[in-house]
Amino acid sequence: MRNTAVLLISCPDQKGLVAAIADFLYRHNANILHADQHQDAAQGLFLTRVEWDLADFDLAPSAFQSAFQPVADRFQMNWQLKLSAQRPKMAIFVSRYDHCLADLLYRYQNGELHCEIPLILSNHMDTKWLADTYKIPFQHIPVVKEAKAEAEKDQLALLRHHHIDFIVLARYMQVLSPEFIQHYPNRIINIHHSFLPAFHGAKPYHRAFDRGVKLIGATSHYVTEVLDDGPIIEQDVARISHRDHLDDLIQKGADLEKIVLSRAVKWHIDNRVLVYANKTVVFD
Amino acid sequence: MRNTAVLLISCPDQKGLVAAIADFLYRHNANILHADQHQDAAQGLFLTRVEWDLADFDLAPSAFQSAFQPVADRFQMNWQLKLSAQRPKMAIFVSRYDHCLADLLYRYQNGELHCEIPLILSNHMDTKWLADTYKIPFQHIPVVKEAKAEAEKDQLALLRHHHIDFIVLARYMQVLSPEFIQHYPNRIINIHHSFLPAFHGAKPYHRAFDRGVKLIGATSHYVTEVLDDGPIIEQDVARISHRDHLDDLIQKGADLEKIVLSRAVKWHIDNRVLVYANKTVVFD
Amino acid sequence: MRNTAVLLISCPDQKGLVAAIADFLYRHNANILHADQHQDAAQGLFLTRVEWDLADFDLAPSAFQSAFQPVADRFQMNWQLKLSAQRPKMAIFVSRYDHCLADLLYRYQNGELHCEIPLILSNHMDTKWLADTYKIPFQHIPVVKEAKAEAEKDQLALLRHHHIDFIVLARYMQVLSPEFIQHYPNRIINIHHSFLPAFHGAKPYHRAFDRGVKLIGATSHYVTEVLDDGPIIEQDVARISHRDHLDDLIQKGADLEKIVLSRAVKWHIDNRVLVYANKTVVFD
Amino acid sequence: MRNTAVLLISCPDQKGLVAAIADFLYRHNANILHADQHQDAAQGLFLTRVEWDLADFDLAPSAFQSAFQPVADRFQMNWQLKLSAQRPKMAIFVSRYDHCLADLLYRYQNGELHCEIPLILSNHMDTKWLADTYKIPFQHIPVVKEAKAEAEKDQLALLRHHHIDFIVLARYMQVLSPEFIQHYPNRIINIHHSFLPAFHGAKPYHRAFDRGVKLIGATSHYVTEVLDDGPIIEQDVARISHRDHLDDLIQKGADLEKIVLSRAVKWHIDNRVLVYANKTVVFD
């Protein structure tokens, strides 16, 4: 794999922006591999993702900030630099359903997810065998209603200890508190087993079955304080018919959940997702 | 086209049902072309659709009822007989958007829809040119808020006059009153421009855009007294991205609406749809 | 899970067939759960799948043949009876790519595949860890060009020893000889990594990339003597764009392969697939 | 609609390219609305599409070439400038099947296609009613095998007379000669009723039916001298089952053809398609 850098920028849209960024990179001998941008006219916003090969680049990562900040200041840029050499640390939260966890771990060991997984955290012991198979540390923190705050405190301590960058809720069946969420803004990825905003909340397959829909869906999104309302990263659907029982919906849905969640996680890891106005831009 | 009959049956599930129906048809020398059935275990319901060639069938349509009723009584069947030779009469209601109307009329003249269209009814004049092109009678009945009841009275009179069997709302922008609807139970097909139950009600594309969904949808359903809540006949979705403006959603959605509505209308005409428990069985 | 029987029948289409089958089952007190049928007018063929609950059925499996054979003879039926209690024995052949194997094994242990897996057979050692994880016997039989016949002899001996009912080629990279194939007619399921008949043969992703297609596909089919030409059980596609490199095609394709193969295997196990005229009927 | 310019560029990939283009546009006060680019590493090629608002742009279209040519020369650019105010002139060739023609004309009058249609050309009279409905000039040029060259001569004369920019073959059932094609390189768009490269050539639905595929497809591509082998612009598929007869394939396929062709035509008109290495880049 190439050694690359990714620059993610959002700022007010204005003339000269693209020229300034391109010129800066050119002056430092960057070999641009991908560049994508998006203008949101209604919001007056400019968003871009640029990826370049570090081979010929004449700025050390440590020197980037001081060199780039004048450009950033001129255009009031919100920017982040990400290096492919620095794999983000992902924690996976899971309860009893293990299909998403199994899928993520398989993709991880297969080299598809360019991250580290220092921690699997569960309120049950059911999925420990999977963690063991893939040799990932597994922590069991039971969550009981009356002591949720304490459980979250323990979880946060573990996350900090492992320097976790982002969290994936792989069918984690507990609602996180606003206090917990604000520690990882736009850095907690959930998979909801419906085509949001349809069937937000509990038991979406049951409700989809009762409503008689002809397609079921899955949605991965960043977690915000409002349940199932965060910025959507990816969605997909599968066709069902009257021949499908509730069990079939759940089984077909599981395949959707795996695909949709793994795409979102991969894009997040590859720094392809920018959030604004409770929406995402996915630079694919 | 073959001269066929379709028998649609729903009744409590019980042993001997299939044998009784098959035996009845066999005794009258029916050449069965299609037979499909569905059991809903939760509801204890049996639903079936049988289609046979009338060529060798030894019962005249007029004699069918008296011959079949004993079988029907034995199993408490709810049944209908439909003959391919009797094309149902469809009325189309439309407002200003004409894409669904244009699509239906093209399919009609192309021979894809085995129905008659004695009437297009609109609260605007905008689509008259399409009616004229395809030589379908067009009636303009303006609808103003204060005189909706009167407008519906005029509509109902026209529908009765033309012996209309079912109504298609091809992006008709008026909400029909419960009184109107009860004249055509499960015989009014609407197209809603969202993936129901998401974004029911007004301006679904605007709300889909604001929510940042990654797929848009369209839903055709039978109209019931609760808005956008009737039995779903067909749904489909199309992928969008952050690159799509609201205008793009509307344009991509229009293609979805055409496809989804025309499928539902075709299935209804071909007697493939059975309704129960606010759901549909579509025998395809 | 319910204790059920499935009857699969194909025979010349003729009047009285459905009545005869339904009547036979009714007389023996079968509670029919699903019944589906298909007529192929061009071939003059009738195919059906009937599944019933064995709870009240008054024929023991051992007595079924002698009771049913007169009906079968009368209509020249080709028929098979399958019992849900008798799980078929599946062998998996695999080479180095392990994504399909991993997916099948996960589904197996998850209870999604109602079969036994007495044997994984590979020409490489790479996937042994997966077999070990799921505690499935793993046999390594190297295949070298000059000694292929011998390798197949060893494979056949193992298959016989384990009373294997059908074989799944989970990205097995060796072409099987016609002699081998004729031992398992319509009982070897392959996954080909293209939308057949496009790109049959070697390196389909490379050729899809070179051709500049906008969708890639995967196809599961029964293996016949002509390479990649057997009856297709299932196909699906995924959208790609110019942004996708060959590596992306391979990765996106892997997800397709898993889904398409697992559907085909599941349908085969559930006795939903009937073959005729080098095509399949899938009773879903 | 905004008054915009689109610059399409392809050239050898090299550092400084993006900076040079962005800088040029910035210096002339362009307000960039969209910019997309693609690098093909294997071919060492850079391709880009930039669209900007002409409102504040300080170069008149007539002055653009002399101002931009130095930049183009420096990077050996192959470039084209397109103005939204100059609608391209499209000719439609059609035979007897009229679904694609009807669809294109409806979209044209609906404002979805930003082009002019000075000419519909057919070897049959069947579709004249559609041309009349939408008030488009219709020319009937019969094509007989022995006098194909003459027919093409007449066609070319008409195309030249109407200053046609590109041609759409809307299910035109004649193969064009290499001589004809070379007058419109990458400017003839065909719709083929299969998922190419599967079933290229004649009667693809018949062959798809015989092969027992589970999905049917449609492909729009630029016409080159090798039949059905030109650069693919768009493809899509629809699911079928054993229940579908050949007629159903043709009917479901017609819907695919309309959608796939109209997308390709729209992208071509909006200058979103670049061709290289017998592939297309579609900047969406």
pLDDT above 80 for C1? no
Bridge pairing between strands B89-94 and B116-122: parallel
Q: Which pair of tokens denotes residue A277?
A: 């106005």
pLDDT at res. C41:
85
From the list B18, B26, B239, the residue facing C35 with the nearest CB is B18
Please judge whether D25 and A36 are an interchain contact, meaning their C-beta atoms are less than 8 angstroms apart: no
pLDDT at res. B103:
98
Task: Classify each residue of D1-10 as buried b or exposed e, where b means 16 or more C-beta atoms within 10 Å of its C-beta.
Answer: eeebbbbbbb
pLDDT at res. A280:
97
Q: A25, A55, A83 — which closes off a domain?
A: A83
Mean pLDDT computed over B142-171: 96
Whether residue B36 lies within 8 A of chain C, CB to CB, comes out as yes
- Please state, as a whole number, how many other Cβ atoms lie within 10 Å of the Cβ of residue D16: 18
d(CA D253, CA B185): 33
For D225-280, write each residue's pLDDT tens digit: 999 999 999 999 999 999 999 999 999 999 999 999 999 999 999 999 999 999 99
Q: Which residues contact D139 (CB under 8 A, 6 or more apart)?
A: D119, D120, D121, D122, D158
pLDDT at res. A284:
86
* Residues A121 and A101 sit within 8 Å (Cβ to Cβ): no
Query: Is residue C102 domain-shared with residue C222, that is, in the same domain?
Result: yes
* Residues D166 and D268 sit within 8 Å (Cβ to Cβ): yes
How far is B58 from chain C, CA to nearest CA, in Å? 13
Query: Is residue A72 domain-shared with residue A104, that is, in the same domain?
Result: no
pLDDT at res. A276:
93
Query: Is residue A171 domain-shared with residue A264, that is, in the same domain?
Result: yes
Q: Which residues contact B266 (CB under 8 A, 6 or more apart)?
A: B107, B112, B113
Q: Which pair of tokens denotes residue D162?
A: 């109407």
Give the catalytic positions of B in this structure.
228
Beta strands in chain A (DSSP E): 4-12, 31-40, 45-53, 78-83, 89-94, 116-122, 138-140, 166-169, 188-192, 215-222, 232-239, 273-276, 279-282
Query: Is residue B158 domain-shared with residue B208, that is, in the same domain?
Result: yes
pLDDT at res. D284:
86
Query: Is residue C151 domain-shared with residue C250, that is, in the same domain?
Result: yes
Whether residue C251 lies within 8 A of chain A, CB to CB, comes out as yes
Catalytic one of A98, A103, A165, A228? A228
* D267: CATH: 3.40.50.170
Provide, as residue numbers in chain C, all residues whose Cβ is less than 8 Å from the Cβ of A112: 251
Cis peptide bond upstream of D61, omega within 30: no
Please judge whether D255 and B259 are an interchain contact, meaning their C-beta atoms are less than 8 angstroms apart: yes
pLDDT at res. D44:
93
* A32: CATH: 3.30.70.260
Q: Which pair of tokens denotes residue B14?
A: 């019980």
The helix (run of H) or strand (run of E) holding residue C35 is: strand C31-40
pLDDT above 90 for B41? no
Query: Is residue A115 domain-shared with residue A223, that is, in the same domain?
Result: yes
Q: C83, C110, C137 — which closes off a domain?
A: C83
B195 phi/psi in degrees, rounded to 5: -85, 90
Catalytic one of C98, C103, C228, C270? C228
Provide, as residue numbers in chain A, all residues whose Cβ is less than 8 Å from the Cβ of C112: 251
Instruction: Give the three-class secondary structure for A32.
Output: strand
Bridge pairing between strands C45-53 and C31-40: antiparallel
Query: Is residue B31 domain-shared with residue B162, that is, in the same domain?
Result: no
CA atoms within 13 A on the CB side of A139: 20
Task: Classify each residue of B134-163 as buried b or exposed e, where b means 16 or more C-beta atoms within 10 Å of its C-beta.
Answer: bebebeebebeeeeeeebbeebeebbeebe
Q: Which pair of tokens denotes residue B129?
A: 């040119």
Q: Which chains touch A (3 or more CB pairs under 8 A)?
A: B, C, D
Chain A: residue whose CA lies nearest to D37: A35
pLDDT above 90 for B1? no
Whether residue B30 lies within 8 A of chain C, CB to CB, comes out as yes
pLDDT band at residue C2, thresholds of 50, 70 and 90?
Answer: confident
In terms of residue numbers, what domain contains B142?
A: 89-282
Total domains, chain D: 2
- Please state, as a whole number, how many other Cβ atoms lie within 10 Å of the Cβ of residue A241: 14
Query: Is residue C111 domain-shared with residue C126, that is, in the same domain?
Result: yes
d(CA D173, CA B47): 45
The helix (run of H) or strand (run of E) holding residue B27 is: helix B17-27
From the list B211, B235, B279, the residue facing A215 with the nearest CB is B235
Q: C32, C56, C83 — which closes off a domain?
A: C83
For D81-107, write each residue's pLDDT tens digit: 999 999 999 999 999 999 999 999 999
pLDDT at res. A113:
97
For B49-107, write each residue's pLDDT tens digit: 999 999 999 999 999 999 999 999 999 999 999 999 999 999 999 999 999 999 999 99
Please judge whether C29 and B15 are an interchain contact, meaning their C-beta atoms are less than 8 angstroms apart: yes
Q: Which pair of tokens denotes residue B33?
A: 């072309």
Provide, as residue numbers in chain B, all residues whose Cβ is less than 8 Å from the Cβ of A198: 195-198
Whether residue A215 lies within 8 A of chain B, CB to CB, comes out as yes
Whether residue C56 lies within 8 A of chain A, CB to CB, comes out as no
Whether residue C38 lies within 8 A of chain D, CB to CB, comes out as yes
Q: What is the pTM of this model?
A: 0.96
pLDDT at res. A42:
86
Cis peptide bond upstream of A197, omega within 30: yes
Query: What torsion, rounded to 10 degrees, do the Cα atoms C188, C189, C192, C193 define?
Result: -140
* Residues D21 and D81 sit within 8 Å (Cβ to Cβ): no
Whether residue C54 lies within 8 A of chain B, CB to CB, comes out as no
C249 phi/psi in degrees, rounded to 5: -60, -45
Query: What torsion, rounded to 10 degrees, do the Cα atoms C84, C89, C95, C99 define?
Result: 20
Write out residues 4-23 of A within 8 Å (CB-CB) of D: 15-16, 18-19, 22-23
Query: Is residue D195 domain-shared with residue D144, that is, in the same domain?
Result: yes
Provide, as residue numbers in chain D, all residues whose Cβ is less than 8 Å from the Cβ of A237: none
pLDDT at res. C284:
86
Please judge whether D197 and C195 are an interchain contact, meaning their C-beta atoms are less than 8 angstroms apart: no
pLDDT at res. B42:
86
- Please state, as a whole number, how many other Cβ atoms lie within 10 Å of the Cβ of residue C35: 23
- Please state, as a whole number, how many other Cβ atoms lie within 10 Å of the Cβ of residue B29: 14
CA distances from D108 to B204, B244, B245, D103, D113 (A): 25, 20, 20, 9, 5
For B209-218, write each residue's pLDDT tens digit: 999 999 999 9
Query: Is residue B62 domain-shared with residue B139, that is, in the same domain?
Result: no
Instruction: Give the three-class secondary structure for D267.
Output: helix
SS3 content of chain D, % helix, strand, coil (to 5): 35, 30, 35
Chain C: residue whose CA lies nearest to D196: C198
Query: Is residue B256 domain-shared with residue B213, that is, in the same domain?
Result: yes
Provide, as residue numbers in chain B, all residues whose Cβ is less than 8 Å from the Cβ of C22: 18-19, 22-23
Catalytic one of D23, D228, D229, D255? D228
Chain B: residue whose CA lies nearest to C26: B16
Bridge pairing between strands B45-53 and B89-94: unpaired
d(CA B21, CA D123): 53
pLDDT at res. D264:
98
Mean pLDDT computed over C53-74: 96
Q: Work out the burial of residue C29: count CB atoms within 10 Å of its CB; fewer than 13 is exposed, 13-18 middle, 19 or more buried.
A: middle
Single-letter residue type at C112: E
Chain C: residue whose CA lies nearest to A241: C284
pLDDT above 80 for B189? yes
Active-site annotation holds for C228: yes
Q: Which residues contact C206 (CB under 8 A, 6 or more apart)?
A: C246
Query: Is residue A149 domain-shared with residue A23, that is, in the same domain?
Result: no
Mean pLDDT computed over D136-143: 97
Ranges of chain A with pLDDT below 70:
none
Longest dimension (CA), chain A: 63
Task: Classify each residue of C75-108 as buried b or exposed e, where b means 16 or more C-beta atoms within 10 Å of its C-beta.
Answer: bebebeebebeeebbbbbbbbebbbbbbbbbbbb
For C162-197, write each residue's pLDDT tens digit: 999 999 999 999 999 999 999 999 999 999 999 999
Bridge pairing between strands D273-276 and D232-239: unpaired
Whether residue D114 lies within 8 A of chain C, CB to CB, comes out as no
CA distances from A67 to A25, A59, A78, A211, B171 (A): 11, 8, 15, 57, 57
pLDDT at res. D2:
86
Share of chain B above pLDDT 70, in %: 100
d(CA D134, CA B224): 38
Provide, as residue numbers in chain C, all residues whose Cβ is less than 8 Å from the Cβ of D284: 241
* Residues D205 and D238 sit within 8 Å (Cβ to Cβ): no
How far is C197 from chain D, CA to nearest CA, in Å? 6
Whether residue B251 lies within 8 A of chain D, CB to CB, comes out as yes
Q: Which of A212-221, B1-10, C205-214 has the lowest mean pLDDT?
A: B1-10
Whether residue A3 lies within 8 A of chain C, CB to CB, comes out as no
Cα angle A163-A166-A169, degrees, rounded to a multiple of 5: 125
